[in-house]
Structure 1
């Protein structure tokens, strides 16, 4: 398990990327969402693995990218925050195709025991060129992840609907309290 790899997951458009930028500005290591990077590459290329063109191909690319991200992040020290990751991609592929990679991949490549989930937040949700699905689709994804992540043995911590600065404080305090608890045990 990579105990310093912290996963930010949850509802699409729930503020994960904004939180990631804040954590980066505070000096923490961050890994941007595979999905947005893939969409950007595909829009500039052959467009075969776009999520709205071939969702299964998109999920497979996201799995490959998440695994490569984890490999690259091994060289980093301190907290490494991932905007989505392997769990998101593997659970999407499983939901789309019934492919059973989820448990095997996620057992071999663990994140910190606490996963931070961005709840549905329709007031800040925005579609854009890389996020073309609607809020309902994001909500369905959130519900799937809210079931999958604890089933994989993670403690789900819901991010508060507050300012990005307060969210970053919340995440860092939650991780610090977890470390102190583990040391006292």
Structure 2
């Protein structure tokens, strides 16, 4: 499982870089325009992805293992809402995304198979306590990122911006036969 999460973290980083490069051709007003998406706009959805990553990686940072790779995340303020605008301008959002992706990549290098089969205890945003399988929660985080990046890709396509091929398949190394 560890190698799978390392692959997904690298894919996540690559796709986020491509997404932000693609979105950078639009003006801030185009990025903020309400396009009827769940988080309204491209900026709203990009902020939401970062909010979700911040919330979840802070929960992993609180794990008894004390992952050193999540020190950056540990020091971030906790978002107050899933639709919170962490960054209202594109450049700082892109920089924060890059730092989060680096932290996530380093985190997946640091985790062990034992961590993945263990339990993550956390409180949700309403203060309710949960204990769930660590690896399955990490899979949720990866899935959440991919889901909302797909929404942003659709929004960009609707305004004529081509993000290119986004298939995970291209990130999977060729096997030696």
TM-score by length of 1: 0.30
Larger helix percent: 2
- Calculate the TM-score normalised by the size of structure 2: 0.31
**Based on CA coordinates, which of the two structures has the bigger radius of gyration?**
2
**Which structure's residues are more often strand, by fraction?**
1
